[in-house]
Amino acid sequence: MSEFEYREPQITIHSDTREILANARRDIDRYNLRDYFIVDVDSHHVELDSWAEILEYVQDPVVRQVGKAMAANWPNARNLALSNHPPGLTMQDVGGRIPHQAQLAERVDAVDGEHPGSEHRDLTLVRRAMDSMGIAMQIVFPQPMLEVGLHPNPDIENQLIWAYNRWFTERILAQEPRVKSMLALPFNSPEGCLKTIREFGEKPGVVGFLITSQRQAPLFKNEYMPVYRELEERGLPFGFHAGPDYSVGKQMNRFISVHAMSFVTCNMVHLTNWIINGLPERFPKLKTVWIESGLAWLPFMMQRLDHEYLMRQSEAPLLKRLPSEYMQEMFYTSQPMEATNLKLLEATMDAIHAETQLMYASDWPHWDFDVPGRIAGLPFLSETAKRNILGETARKVFRL
Amino acid sequence: MVKDLASTTVGVFRVEGKLYAYENTCPHQGGPVCQGLLIPRVEEKLNASQGAEGFRFDESDPRLVCPWHGFEFSVKTGCHPGKAEIRLTQFEVEEEGELVYVRV
């Protein structure tokens, strides 16, 4: 029997990131994580908190005026103007049960001695999360901007991507060498993609480019080949970041169903097109990274594509090997790591050659984030595999 | 209430007059489960022909929800409602007057 002291009674949207993640700090000692170089290949900041700043970066003066007027005049549009933020995404925090998904409304003081001066608030929040989880470097993405591939107006999509990329490279990436990003490409415009790569490809902190996976653009069209060539020649990885799509909600009535399926099906479509059209053969040095679809879909895709390819080889004549063999040379991020059956997880990691192809990702601050201890605690991984997954593979892929 | 105790943290909850004490570590990924939302169980009401008639709260079964990922545990049993093997670490708890004692 002993007496003890109070802690903060309940985690809310106002809790400090360091308090929310206090238990993750225990894992640093438990798994000796200070001895690892940990790179988090998928995390997020909340760009809508800075939306007024980003709208100022919109190049086209007419679109910029529309956006600013929308933000000023429409109820609730201050942080959303011009964007296609889907209202259904506000279901993500499970009715307030997972507060950090809704927002990080914690206090950040310029005078609290932590990072005085003009540092952007988002950078302070990112650093608090990294330090709490023992992460050395973090690849940071936006959130609703990852839905931009479904924007009804491709011109506005292009304008928003350009504005965000400029804002993010100047205000965040240039300020902190521990923070990196793969910038989104305006994929409805191959010329815009090339312009984006050439403008931002050598900016500090830019380690690759990204397709926001929820979109209808067929990536096998010939117009995209110069884009892939440009990335390959520059040695920049090409990422596919999954996202939810409520259009599947026409057949589904609950967010759990929409999330479970649509975060995977978007990358299933792109990966199938990428392989069956022989793009790994056409651009053999271009590294692809499949982000935030988890891992359980991969053995399904390997078996399914191999099975059909063996019977219909004439429809994929560029392939020289089985689809699964190309998949074993692609890169994957680990989150959300389905770990309800460790035998299946072990078989999955074996199938995708996780020791050299898998990279840890937290997805913080999303509701299904994974701490580094998730990888460090897996009983079947070798010490080398753990080190590679937690950071060494990312070090090579992104030349960190 | 949630309190630090030596190398761990303990949450103590009173439900229908009875005290329950659990370690503030979620069996899922180690989240601060005792600092999560306390909310009644949600149940789905069915009619006589097995048709769904919507959700409602069951106030007799309060749930503790881990704020990291939403794993939900019955305060009375410490078990996850969908898989009872996933359960919180429970401590003995006694009350003497205004003092509460937890055996860790």
- Mapping DSSP onto H, E and C, the string for chain A reads CCCCEECCCCCCCCCCHHHHCHHHHHHHHHCCHHHCCCEEEEEECCHHHHHHHHHCCCCCHHHHHHHHHHHHHCCCCCCCCCCCCCHHHHHCCCCCCCHHHHCCCCCCCCCCCCCCCCCCHHHHHHHHHHHHHCCCEEEEECCHHHHHHHCCCHHHHHHHHHHHHHHHHHHCHHHCCCEEEEEECCCCCHHHHHHHHHHHCCCCCEEEEEEECCCCCCCCCHHHHHHHHHHHHHCCCEEEECCCCHHHHHCCCCHHHHHHHHHHHHHHHHHHHHHHCCHHHHCCCCCEEEECCCCCHHHHHHHHHHHHHHHCHHHCCCCCCCHHHHHCCCEEECCCCCCCCHHHHHHHHHHCCHHHHEECCCCCCCCCCCCCHHHHCCCCCCHHHHHHHHHHHHHHHCCC
Q: Do A293 and A271 meet the contact criterion of CB atoms below 8 Å apart? A: no
User: Which pLDDT belongs to residue B2?
Assistant: 80
> What's the angle, vertex CA B8, arms to CA B3 and CA B13, rounded to 5?
40
The answer to whether the CB of A43 falls within 8 A of the CB of A127 is no
What integer best gives the mean pLDDT of chain B? Answer: 94
Q: pTM of this prediction?
A: 0.94
In the predicted structure, residue B3 carries a pLDDT above the cut 90: no
Q: Considering CB atoms only, which of A7, A99, A100 is closest to B3?
A: A7
Q: Could you tell me the pLDDT band of residue B57, with boundaries at 50, 70 and 90? A: very high
Please check whether residue A1 lies inside any domain of the structure: no
Closest residue to A7, CB basis, from B2, B37, B102: B2
Question: CATH homologous superfamily for B2-103?
Answer: Rieske [2Fe-2S] iron-sulphur domain (2.102.10.10)
- Cβ atoms of B80 and B87 closer than 8 Å: yes
In a domain, A8, yes or no: no
B1 versus A50: the higher-pLDDT residue is A50
Higher pLDDT, A19 or B2: A19
Q: Is residue A12 assigned to a domain?
A: no
Report ipTM for this prediction: 0.90
Q: For chain A, how many structural domains are there in total?
A: 1
Q: Is residue A169 part of a domain?
A: yes
Across the interface, which of B67, B103, B104 has its CB nearest the CB of A99? B67
Put simply, whether B84 touches A (Cβ < 8 Å) is no
Is A129 a member of any domain?
A: yes
Characterize the bridge pairing of strands A288-291 and A238-241.
Answer: parallel
Question: CB distance A5–B103 less than 8 Å?
Answer: no
CATH code for position A181:
3.20.20.140
What are the Cα distances from residue A221, in Å, to A16, A145, A285, B95?
47, 24, 19, 71
What's the pLDDT at A112? 47
Distance from CA of A320 to the nearest CA of B (A): 42
pLDDT at B5: 74
pLDDT value of residue A85: 85
Cα separations (Å) of A117 from A47, A108, A112, A162, A180?
A: 21, 12, 10, 27, 22
Check if the beta carbon of residue A332 is closer than 8 Å to that of residue A349: no
- Asked whether the beta carbons of residue A98 and residue B2 sit closer than 8 angstroms, the reply is no
Contact B30 A373 (CB under 8 A): yes
Q: CB count, 10 Å around CB of A123?
A: 20
- Amino acid identity of A158? N
Residue B43's alpha-carbon distances to A78, A115, A392, B14, B59, in angstroms, are 37, 47, 46, 22, 10
Domain holding A114, by residue range, is: 17-397
Residue pLDDT tens, chain A, 400 long:
333 344 568 999 999 999 999 999 999 999 999 999 999 999 999 999 999 999 999 999 999 999 999 999 999 899 999 999 887 888 999 999 999 999 999 988 764 445 555 689 999 999 999 999 999 999 999 998 898 999 999 999 999 999 999 999 999 999 999 999 999 999 999 999 999 999 999 999 999 999 999 988 899 999 999 999 999 999 999 999 999 888 776 789 999 999 999 999 999 999 999 999 999 999 999 999 999 999 999 999 999 999 999 999 999 999 999 999 999 999 999 999 999 999 999 999 999 999 999 999 999 999 999 999 999 999 999 999 999 999 999 999 999 9
Mean pLDDT of B32-42: 96
Interface of A with B (CB under 8 A): 1-2, 4-11, 20, 22-24, 26-27, 94, 96-100, 367-371, 373-374
Domain ranges of chain B: 2-103
Instruction: Using the structure block, give the residue that is written with the tokens 């049993």.
Output: B77
- Looking at residue A3, its pLDDT comes to 36
What is the distance in angstroms between the Cα of A184 and the nearest Cα belonging to chain B? 28
Is residue B98 exposed (0-12), middle (13-18) or buried (19+ Cβ within 10 Å)?
exposed
Q: How is B58-83 classified by DSSP, letter by letter?
A: EEEEEEEE-TTT--EEETTT-EETTE
Say whether A9 and B2 touch across the interface (CB within 8 A).
yes
Assign B7 to helix, strand or coil. coil
Residue A2 lies in a domain: no
Summarize the confidence of residues B64-87 as an average pLDDT: 97
B35 and A7 within 8 Å at the Cβ level: the answer is: yes
Within a 13 Å sphere around the CA of B40, how many CA atoms are in the beta-carbon half?
10
Answer yes or no: is A6 within a domain: no
**Averaged pLDDT, B37-59:** 96
Q: Is the pLDDT of residue B1 over 70?
A: yes
